[in-house]
Amino acid sequence: MLQKESESEKKEESFFRTVIQKIKRVKKPEKAKKIVPRDRSKMVAVTLWTVLSSLLVFSFLAVLLSVNTRSVVNDVKRDFSKPKEGEQKQISVTAADNFLSGFIHEYVNVKNDMDSIEQRKKKLESHMVTDANESFEDEKSYDLTGLKGNRILNEYSLYNVKKEKGYSLFQYKVIYTNQFPVEKEVEKTIKDGKQEKKVKEKVIEKQGVEKKLLLNIPVTNKGDTFAVTAVPYFSVIYDLKGKIASSNKEETREEYTGLKKDSIEKFLDSFFEKYASQKKEDMVYMMKKPESLQDSLSLGNVENVKIFETKKGFEVSCDVEFREKENQIPVKERFTLELTENSGQFYVNDLKHQ
């Protein structure tokens, strides 16, 4: 009896367990999740304001950069247009031409008379700078020792103005006449008692030769006042028609005293003799940029020769005295030459006046 009751209890317990397990296996339907759309308006507004703010900032920076750049460019222009220290200010060609008119008359006109020569020298020196480092000693600058005649200016005109370092080079086309005495033998008729006879007599006559050259005058200015910086010099008139495609302090250097010094000095004598007498095209074998006086003047002396050795050869400065062929009036000039040497032969790579 007790067994039956326990068996029935076990069966009931097993039934309930089975029911409970089945109930657990039954899945509850999941609730459907509701999808709520996100509000993006705030993010769009923030992005838009950020972009606008960035544009405003960049625009402001661009304006500042533009103003600053313009200011820098203007400063550069002002600095460029300002004359540098020691640089010559803009020169008035018209005013300088008026200043030089009296100087040209005094320089070209030479009268073979001691009083006239002394007056000429004083007037010329009054046009010169007072602190110039001249190529020649003061007493030699306008020395006319040895002249044998007169020089008369016929006409002149401004030909060109060249800007050089520290001065302006005014070039005038001048036409002048060299007068010089010539001894001639003439036949005269004289009375010898009641008869007349012819005799020969020596007389001195003046002859004249007309010349056309460029007169080169270096000029400096301070405002509207002018001064001649060095003794003028003559050169051949050049053609202005063509196919068109910054006072320095002298540097202290040691002069060359080597074995080639004598050879260089002999070359200078030969070179300037040919420079005075030969044609421009004949100077090709001696110069890189040929030029000459084309027999307008004759060579006098080459003086004050200073030779400096360079990496490419030699630099030579010297004072050269030329003379008018007809009446021996001296014309003095200073040159600077750059020489190169090839197989013992010297060659003028560059020639500078003054």
Stated as kind and residue range, the H or E segment containing 271 is helix 261-277
Amino acid 91: pLDDT: 86
Please check whether residue 134 is in contact with residue 230, taking contact to mean a CB–CB distance below 8 angstroms: yes
Alpha carbons within 13 angstroms on the beta-carbon side of residue 212 total: 5
Fold that domain 249-354 belongs to in CATH? Nuclear Transport Factor 2; Chain: A, (3.10.450)
CATH for 86-179+207-239, options being 3.40.605.10, 3.10.450.540, 3.90.1150.10, 1.10.10.10: 3.10.450.540
Segments making up each domain of the chain, as ranges = 86-179+207-239, 249-354
Distance, CA of 220 to CA of 248 (rounded, Å)? 13
Q: Are 258 and 308 in contact (CB under 8 A)?
A: no
Instruction: Please give the span between the terminal C-alpha atoms of the chain, in angstroms, as a whole number.
Output: 155
* Residue 46, helix vs strand vs coil: helix
Which residues is 210 bridged to in the sheet?
A: 177
Each residue's pLDDT, cut to its tens digit, for the chain (354 residues) gives 545 555 555 555 666 666 566 666 655 555 555 555 565 666 767 777 787 777 777 777 776 776 665 665 566 455 544 555 444 567 899 999 999 999 999 999 999 888 999 999 999 989 998 864 544 445 566 778 788 889 999 999 999 999 998 899 999 999 999 998 888 777 777 777 777 777 777 777 888 899 999 999 999 999 899 999 988 999 999 999 887 774 555 567 899 999 999 999 999 999 999 999 999 999 999 999 999 999 999 999 999 999 999 999 999 999 999 999 999 999 999 999 999 998 889 999 999 997
How much is the pTM? Answer: 0.63
Please give the Cα distance from 339 to 251 (Å, whole number).
Answer: 19
CA dihedral (280, 284, 289, 294) in degrees, to 10, reads -20
Would you state the pLDDT for residue 62? 73
Q: Do the first three CATH levels of 86-179+207-239 and 249-354 match, i.e. the same topology?
A: yes
* 199-217: b (≥16 Cβ within 10 Å) or e: eeeeeeeeeeeebebbbbb
Strands 150-164 and 225-228: unpaired
Contact 143, 120 (CB under 8 A): no
